[in-house]
Amino acid sequence: MTDTMNTFEPAPLPATPPERISAWEYALAAVVLAACLLAGLALADTKAPAPAVGVLRFASEIDFASASRLIDMLEAARRDDGLAAVVLEVSSPGGFATSSESIFYALLSLREAKPLVVVVDGLAASGGYYMAAAGNRIYAPPSSYVGNVGTRGGRPSDPALAPDELSSGPYKLEGGSRFDQIHQLDLVRNSFLTNVVNQRTHAALNPLTLAPEELAEARIYLGSEAVALGIIDGEGGRPEGIKAAAELAGLTSYDIVDVPAYLGMEPIISGGEEMVASAQAMLAGAPPGTIFALDSRIPFPEAELPANLQHLRKPRAGADFTWRTGGAPAATFAGSLAPAASRP
């Protein structure tokens, strides 16, 4: 025997060849990654859109309707996380004092949440400037008009008994004596003035340097004058306003959106070329005793002079002055008999 037995040594396994990622797998992976990127970007746009600076244009006289719509829009803008800042572009002669105040407080509320920059587009007088005073910044072109801080109202009347009704108190019908009404005009003006002075004296960029008494004289200032007096913060238009808003919001990249469209609401633009006529229509339709924060250069609607007395109109102090029907002779019996052609 041989002692060598035959021993089995397994044969060495053949070497496992390395896994190769095929080209199509790379391609597929690339497509998948690209798709994920796109999906990620889309997701980011949807769930975390880029911050936007919203531009909201208000070009109207301030009445109950326009104020209500603006306040709704401001409230929606305040709650919308996509809007990082708001630029309010104002072109308004003002209007009702109460509506102007409401807008002012709504803007203050917005300003608590996000930056608000006001840009004057030509005119922000009286109530229009009241709105502007709520902004972090106010910009206006040099030739625009701002200011006219004051109130207006019809001449008060004295209490009188109405022949067709009884009331429970002496001022139920008029709301107060003649001097009560005059005093209230001043009180509203004081609120307006105090709020404006308060906001502007605390302005970070260009605080107010004008004395309150001077501001109370209700002058209208050019944009260039207003900058010098601290009534506004700087000269400029919409681009400057957007830039300032973005800066205040700490944005380096952002979208610019039109707020009404962004929020799916109607823009607030009325009056336009016929701003004066539109404001006068507002005046004519205002409830009795309304106090206005309205551009003083917009005249109150005058009583119609009878046609047969138009030739007797005479100008007063350069303004068109109508000798009102109160002084005109009342209709007479003989007058009613006059030929039709000669009657008004």
Partner 1 sequence: MKRSTFWILVAVAGLLLATGPMLWRYMEQQTPQAAYTPPTVPTAAVAATPIPTATPLAVAQASVATGEEVRRGPVVVDLAHYSAVERNRFQPLASALAEQGVDLRFWLPTVSLDNVTQFSDFPDQSETLQRELSGASALVVVSPYFLYSAKEVQVVEQFLADGGRLLIISDPDVESDAARDTNSLAAPLNIVFNEDYLYDTVDNDENYTYFFQGDFFDQAEALAGSRIAFYGGRSIDGAVIPQVRSASTTLSSLRTGQTGFTTGATGGVEAGGSLGRVLALSDFDVLTDPYVARHDNRRLLAFVAEFLAGGERNHSIADFPAALGKEVALVIDDSAPVGAQGLVKAAELQRVLELSGRQMRLGPTTWVSNSIAADGNDLIYVASYEAAERDTPLLADLGLSLVTEIVTPTASAPTATPAVESDSPAPAPATTPAETPATTPTPTMVPELPQTTPAPEIPPVTPGAADVTATATVVPVSRLAQAQAATPAPTETPSPAPEATPEPATGESTGTAEAAATATPAPDVTEPVAPPAPTPTEQVYLVREDGIRLLADETQLFVQRAIDDEHKILAVLGESEAAINAGLTRLLTRDLTGCLIQDELVICPYVPGTGETSTAAPAAAAQAPAGESATLPAKDGDPAPAGDDSSQAILIVDDNRNAAEGEIGEAELYAALLAAAGYQPTLWSTNDSGYPAVDKLQEYAWIIWSDAIYSNSGLRGQALQTVGDAINAGAKVTVSSRMPFFGVSAEPASPIVDVVIGSDVPELVEGISSEPIPLPAGLPDVVPLNSDPEPSTGARIAMRRGPASKAGEAPVLMVYSDENFDEPKGAKLMLFGMSIAWLPDDLAPKLVESMAAFMLAE
Q: Which residue has the tokens 């949807």?
A: 46
CB 123 within 8 A of CB 93: yes
Amino acid (one-letter) located at 78 = R
Rank residues 59 and 107 by Cβ distance to partner 1 and give the closer one: 107
Min CB(161)–partner 1 separation in Å:
14
Min CB(11)–partner 1 separation in Å:
27
Q: Which residue has the tokens 């019996």?
A: 333
Rank residues 42 and 269 by Cβ distance to partner 1 and give the closer one: 42
Min CB(12)–partner 1 separation in Å:
23
Q: Which helix (H) or strand (E) holds 53?
A: strand 52-59
Token duo for residue 117 = 């920059």
Distance CA 151, CA 183 (A): 12
Rank residues 75 and 180 by Cβ distance to partner 1 and give the closer one: 180
Distance CA 282, CA 138 (A): 27
Token duo for residue 68 = 């209500």
249 alpha carbon, distance to own chain's centre = 20
Min CB(302)–partner 1 separation in Å:
10
Count Cβ atoms below 10 Å from residue 105 Cβ, excluding itself: 12
Min CB(270)–partner 1 separation in Å:
30
CB 85 within 8 A of CB 53: yes
Q: Which residue has the tokens 């531009």?
A: 55
Min CB(177)–partner 1 separation in Å:
7
Rank residues 44 and 261 by Cβ distance to partner 1 and give the closer one: 44
For the four alpha carbons of 195, 198, 204 and 207, in that order, the dihedral sign comes to: positive
Rank residues 182 and 265 by Cβ distance to partner 1 and give the closer one: 182
DSSP string, 116-148: EEEEEEEEEETHHHHHHTTSSEEEE-TT-EEE-
Q: What is the 3-state secondary structure (H, E, C) of 182-231?
A: HHHHHHHHHHHHHHHHHHHHCCCCCCCCCCHHHHCCCCEEEHHHHHHHCC
Rank residues 172 and 178 by Cβ distance to partner 1 and give the closer one: 178
Min CB(205)–partner 1 separation in Å:
11
Rank residues 155 and 288 by Cβ distance to partner 1 and give the closer one: 155
Rank residues 143 and 198 by Cβ distance to partner 1 and give the closer one: 198
| 15 burial level (CB within 10 Å; 0-12, 13-18, 19+) | exposed
Min CB(192)–partner 1 separation in Å:
9
Rank residues 79 and 178 by Cβ distance to partner 1 and give the closer one: 178
Min CB(260)–partner 1 separation in Å:
23
Token duo for residue 56 = 């909201």
